[in-house]
Amino acid sequence: MGHPWVYSCLTELGVGLTREPGFHQFDVRGNAYGLLAAHPLTPLVSLHHIDHIDPIFPNITTTKEMQHFHAAEVDSQRILQQTICYNRQFSRTVSVSWGYAIQVYNKHIPLPDILPVPETFRQWKWGTVLAGVYTFNTIRFHPHPCHRPTIFFLVYLLVDAYVIFSCIQMQAPRRHCCDVLPSKSGDLLDIAIRECGEDELIHMNE
């Protein structure tokens, strides 16, 4: 939401207000991992107050971490969009945040339980009335590491071959589908992000 004084000035100039569904600013404090790894199904517009959040990527300084969003140069419309895969063979649930991180759970988790944003961050103090109020659903971030997923952060992108294959650039906001591919190596997890087929839903393999 813009500052009311700015809006008042624009109104006096005859500029109307256009409401864009899903438009919001990234404005939290502390550990922003939860919001980045499970970003709501809306385009990423801006990152505010970077100096008030913890480093986004491990072992990278604040001044360089914005440059580490290499995926924005390849597919900016889908940056941070969350995609969920289910791996039947190993009973895994894989959550991909395009350009940021992959979370791997060693069990099948229903889609409604994995979409809420883990509350790793803190709000700016707006008083007690809006405490804990967001425009998206949140979930408690489990304090014990054994109950959290294994996390893999983006290190680099290969222009001619991705570890995460992105074959088509799609318009956001729309949740995409993905497949866990047969791996060519036991040390790799190959994932293909793709446009969902007509009437296709993301579901667990029974």
203 within some domain: no
Q: What is the rounded CA–CA span in Å between residue 164 and residue 203?
A: 20
pLDDT of residue 172: 47
Instruction: Annotate 140-179 with b (16+ C-beta within 10 A) or e (fewer).
Output: eeeeeeeeebeeebbeebeeeebebebeeebebeeebbbe
**pLDDT at position 84:** 92
Residue 1 lies in a domain: no
- The answer to whether residues 163 and 154 touch, using CB atoms and an 8 Å cutoff, is no
Report pTM.
Answer: 0.75
pLDDT in tens, 47-74: 777 788 888 888 887 777 777 777 777 7
**Residue 95 near residue 176 (C-beta atoms within 8 A):** no
* Domain extent for 119: 21-194
Radius of gyration of the chain (CA): 19
Q: Is the pLDDT of residue 110 over 50?
A: yes
CA distance 29 to 46: 15
Give CA–CA dist 85/192, Å, rounded: 9
pLDDT surpasses 80 at 166: no
Please report whether residue 81 resides in a domain.
yes
Give the number of domains in the chain: 1
pLDDT at residue 127 above 60?
no
Position 201 in a domain: no
Q: Tell me the per-residue pLDDT of 1-48, one tens digit each, with 9 for 90 and over.
A: 445 566 677 778 877 766 665 555 567 888 989 989 998 777 777 777
d(CA 200, CA 177): 8
Average pLDDT over residues 80-96: 89
pLDDT of residue 176: 83
